[in-house]
Amino acid sequence: MTGWLDAHLVSMVDGVAYGLLLFTLAVGLSLVFGMMDVLNLAHGTLYLAGAYTAYALSDGSWLGLLVALLVGLLVGLAGGGLLAAAVAPLQGRGHLDQAALTLGIALIAAEVMAMFFGAEVLPTAPPGSLARSVSVLDHSYPLYRLVFIAVAGVLAVLVYLAFERSSVGALVRATVADRDMVRAMGVDTRKVLFGVFAFGAVLATVGGVLGAPIIAPGPGIDDRVLVLSLVVIVIGGLGSVRGALLGALLIGQVQTLGVALTPAFAPFLLFGAMLLVLVLRPQGLSSLGRA
């Protein structure tokens, strides 16, 4: 048992890092879909924009990272606002129109970014003092990923508390549950919707800035993280922060520990997990804790 644990400990730690990264992406997508009924296929683009921001601005110093984070924040706000404004006229026109619009935006943005940053994957260096590996129980592990786990963990807890315990969070959850009722009570739900859209977008770009040293920016990365976050929210359940967290951590482990244990099945694990959840619990895992 200890031998097994020793061999796979690094994979499990890495699964947590991966899972938390996915959480920053999936939570925005999940809330936007849950609340606004808007399928935003440009969500992966926001991650990529954040990651490219990190590549362009981080020079291995802490200041560089800070600047990148601030710019990433602004990019997220602008991107989220633009996307929310773009899909607003399509309210009630069904998912296909929204999907077509956001996919179109994603394709255009991808081409524009490819024009500026080229076709190569651009590995992004973390701040110099974190750019080394440390020994975790005799296994070499990148220090940056450990720090990332801490930072993203705090971020996840904050987001969770904000949505589940604060009054703003209650408003958002109420909008997810019954938009018309909230509107009938005199709340301008459009403001809530814009706010959530922008918030989700900011989380995705900040995730991109912080995640660039883990999933480096390059053409096609937007699609890949979009697919991962869609799977996460299918598994976790819609419109729930808890679900996104559960789903993300689960997919993190499936993609690391699962792959280490059964490398031959690696291509099937991701969608296998999704299929299993769909069969056993079509409403997603988040309903576990609900009455």
User: Binding of other proteins at residue 284 (CB under 8 A)?
Assistant: yes
User: Would you report the helix, strand and coil content of the chain in percent, each value rounded to 5?
Assistant: 80, 5, 20
Among 156, 171, 259, 285, binds other proteins (CB under 8 A): 259
Looking at residues 6 to 25 of the shown chain, list those that interact with other proteins (rule: CB under 8 A).
7-8, 10-11, 14, 18
User: Binding of other proteins at residue 220 (CB under 8 A)?
Assistant: yes
Q: Which is nearer to other proteins, 24 or 73 (CB)?
A: 24
Reading phi first (left if > 0) and then psi (alpha if -120 to 50, else beta), residue 208 is in alpha
Q: Which is nearer to other proteins, 72 or 284 (CB)?
A: 284
Which regions of 111-221 does DSSP assign to beta strands (E)? 133-136, 139-142
**CA 107: distance to chain centroid?**
19
**Closest Cα partner for 17 from 107, 142, 202?**
142
Among 72, 76, 142, 207, binds other proteins (CB under 8 A): 142
Bridge partners of residue 134, in order along the sequence:
141
The interface mask with other proteins, positions 40-69, x = CB under 8 A, is -x----------------------------
Q: Which is nearer to other proteins, 203 or 234 (CB)?
A: 234
DSSP secondary structure letter of residue 269: H
Tokens of 162: 């904000």
Q: Which is nearer to other proteins, 157 or 288 (CB)?
A: 288
Taking the chain, what is the end-to-end CA distance rounded to the nearest angstrom?
37
**Closest Cα partner for 106 from 87, 125, 88, 124?**
87
Where along the sequence are the contacts to other proteins (CB under 8 A)? Answer: 7-8, 10-11, 14, 18, 33, 37, 39, 41, 95, 99, 103, 107, 114, 118-123, 133, 139-142, 214-216, 218-221, 223-224, 226-227, 230-231, 233-234, 237-238, 255-260, 263-264, 266-267, 270-271, 274, 278, 282-284
